[in-house]
Amino acid sequence: MLNLFKRFKSGLSETRQAITQRLVSIFSGNNFSAADWAKLEEALYKADFGSATVAHLIHSLKSLKSSDATPTDALKRALLELLEGAEGDVSLASNATADNSLPQVVMLLGVNGAGKTTTAAKIAHYWKQQNRQVLLGSCDTFRAAANQQLKSWADRLQLDCIGSQQGADAAAVAFDACQAGLHRGYERIVLDTAGRLHNKSALLEEIKKMVRVLQKCNPAFPQHRWLVIDGSLGTNSLQQAQVFNEAVPLTGLIVTKLDGTSKGGALVSIFNALHVPIYFVGLGEQAEDLQPFSLNAYIEGLLTQTP
């Protein structure tokens, strides 16, 4: 069983290589030439930190503090500053508005293929491992195979799941799942939804309708509206995130597929654009590869070269 830091480190290996490749001289010394600065800037862009973040990081490095033993320390400090408040509390204990007698309902949103269905199952599995009573709701009624996909995960991981038929009203399925969860005493309800394009207003209207219908089940529902973002799209996913946020105010983020991409730096810009916590990150396809977002493990995974 890999520990958290090892999982982040292995999942972020491509992004780390993008940053540290050919930069050994920079990371080991304090005297940068103009060419070194250019190389570093290029490396940060390659890791898809985005222009505002790159400018901030370079600025921090140029003003190395006495507390920074090395340039790597300065980068770590700058990233910590930029990511303040980014670590979501996956126990949901810090949800100040939570009524403990109610299940906490998490609605997963995102574009096609972002990783919503697999993530729904993985989150449910994670909470089940933490001894929570978790119910899945299969609210993607658009794609024929969606319900089967979630059911198969639920069977494999022995999770409870309210299924649906293709073509059914997604909001009605969500309502039924929450009603069932409420009456049967579940603590967490995780709703998978259909993938939708962020430029199709009818699809975004459907999400708003789902929220309105859930509020009829209980005015507090859904307490959590998390956007699932494909991390391999990097900063290209920023615009979609903003459009979703306008349709339904987001309360959290999940960034999937950080493994197999060098664009893991984009997470910083995405967080800074939305300022909602990152709850989980996807570092591979197995259930255990979805990990609670850890600021320290992320930064170590990006910058630490030693084994």
Ligand X SMILES: Nc1nc2c(ncn2[C@@H]2O[C@H](COP(=O)(O)OP(=O)(O)OP(=O)(O)O)[C@@H](O)[C@H]2O)c(=O)[nH]1
Does residue 263 interact with ligand X by CB under 6 A? no
> Count residues contacting ligand X (CB under 6 A)?
21
Q: Is 160 in the site for ligand X (CB under 6 A)?
A: no
300 binds, among Mg ion, ligand X, none (CB under 5 to 8 A by kind): none
Q: Which does 48 bind (CB under 5 to 8 A by kind): Mg ion, ligand X, none?
A: none
Output 68 or 289, the one with its CB closest to ligand X.
Answer: 289
Number of Cβ atoms within 10 Å of the Cβ of 92 = 18
Q: Which residues contact 281 (CB under 8 A, 6 or more apart)?
A: 8, 11, 231, 254, 255, 256, 258, 267, 290, 291, 293, 298
Does 15 participate in binding ligand X (rule CB under 6 A)? no
CB of 80 to ligand X, least distance (A): 24
Contact flag: residue 140 with ligand X (CB under 6 A): yes
Q: Which is nearer to ligand X, 60 or 240 (CB)?
A: 240
Tokens of 279: 């709850």
From the list ligand X, Mg ion, none, pick the one residue 285 interacts with, judged by a Cβ distance below 5 to 8 Å according to partner type: ligand X
| Radius of gyration of the CA atoms of the chain, in A | 20
Confirm or reject binding of residue 254 to ligand X (CB under 6 A): no
Q: Is 117 in the site for Mg ion (CB under 5 A)?
A: yes
Nearer to Mg ion, 60 or 117 (CB): 117
- Parallel, antiparallel, or unpaired for β 278-282 and 252-256? parallel
Q: Is 115 in the site for ligand X (CB under 6 A)?
A: yes
Nearer to ligand X, 139 or 213 (CB): 139
Nearest to 87 by CA among 304, 303, 268, 284: 268
Q: Does 164 bind Mg ion (CB under 5 A)?
A: no
> Per CB under 5 A, does 138 bind Mg ion?
no
Instruction: Indicate whether 301 belongs to the interface with ligand X (CB under 6 A).
Output: no
* Count, residues near Mg ion per rule CB under 5 A: 2
Q: Is 206 in the site for ligand X (CB under 6 A)?
A: no
From the list ligand X, Mg ion, none, partner contacted by residue 114 (C-beta under 5 to 8 A by kind): ligand X
Q: Which residues bind ligand X (CB under 6 A)?
A: 110, 112-118, 140, 143, 146, 195, 256-257, 259-260, 282-285, 289
Q: Which residues bind Mg ion (CB under 5 A)?
A: 116-117
